[in-house]
Amino acid sequence: MQSDQVIEKFKETGALLEGHFLLSSGLHSSVYLQCALVLQYPEEAAAFGRSIAEHFREQNISPVASPAIGGIVIGHEVARALGARFIWTERQDGEMTLRRGFSVSPGEVTLVVEDVVTTGGSTRDTIAALRAKGAQVVAAASIIDRSAGKAAVGVPLVSLATLSVPAVDSSNCDACKRGEQVVKPGSRTVGK
Ligand SMILES: [Zn+2]
């Protein structure tokens, strides 16, 4: 699947909005991503999963592991395409951990899958949690990398599409300078 096809699927389903947005970080951006809106269609999720899996066919990966909640749908599809087991990590008191009886055996060749990599933080935390249990994490993958390729997760990162749309402080925001109203996605709250 080509990068522009991925972006087109996101736009079609409203998972990628273009405009002037207030992100949860407090920063402004001309792009807003809500991956759940494309992943609500299992066929799209499966196609992204197969496309990610193509990069890892030769690596005998199992398990695939994802951080909850955002990574679960796509991670599950990647695991299905690879014939691998699938597990997820979740935060408990802020710390990423394996729960629900999930475990990894020492040396298990593990791929970490996210929906979107922004800073790489949750991917890094997931890798650390798995390594602490002995897993051999060989790579990470996401549908979209919105860090312009800058996120470092400590292992090779494969993304189906890369965005280089900066999130900026309102004082540096061109849309604000043009006097355009900022929108907080998912709410009706509109401010300046
Ligand atoms: Zn702005």
Query: Structure tokens of 148?
Result: 């312009």
What is the distance, to the nearest Å, from the Cα of residue 86 to the centroid of all Cα atoms in its chain?
16
Give CA–CA dist 79/83, Å, rounded: 6
Contact between 50 and 77 (Cβ < 8 Å) = yes
Q: Ligand 1 center to residue 190 CA distance, Å?
A: 12
Å from CA of 21 to ligand 1 middle:
7
Neighbours of 54 (CB within 10 A): 12
* 148 Cα: distance to centroid of ligand 1 (angstroms): 20
Distance 169 CA to ligand 1 centre (A): 7
Distance 19 CA to ligand 1 centre (A): 10
pLDDT digits (tens, 9 = 90+) for 140-188: 999 999 988 899 999 999 999 999 888 899 999 999 999 999 999 876 5
Distance 145 CA to ligand 1 centre (A): 22
pLDDT at res. 188: 53
Predicted local distance difference test score (pLDDT) of residue 148 = 86
pLDDT of residue 167: 85
99 CA from centroid of ligand 1 (Å): 40
C-alpha of residue 183 to centroid of ligand 1, in Å: 9
Q: Compute the distance from residue 30 Cα to the ligand 1 centre, in Å.
A: 8
User: Which pTM does this prediction carry?
Assistant: 0.91
Q: At what angle do helices 42-53 and 3-12 cross, to 10 degrees?
A: 160
In order along the chain (192 residues), what is the average pLDDT of each group of 10 residues? 95 96 90 95 98 97 97 98 98 95 97 94 96 97 93 96 90 95 75 42
Ligand 1 centre distance from Cα of residue 92 (Å): 34
What is the CA(28)–ligand 1 centre distance, in A?
Answer: 5
**Measured in angstroms, how far is the CA atom of residue 84 from the centroid of ligand 1?**
43
Burial environment of residue 177 by CB neighbours within 10 A (0 to 12, 13 to 18, 19 or more): exposed
- Centre of ligand 1 from the C-alpha of residue 9, in Å: 26
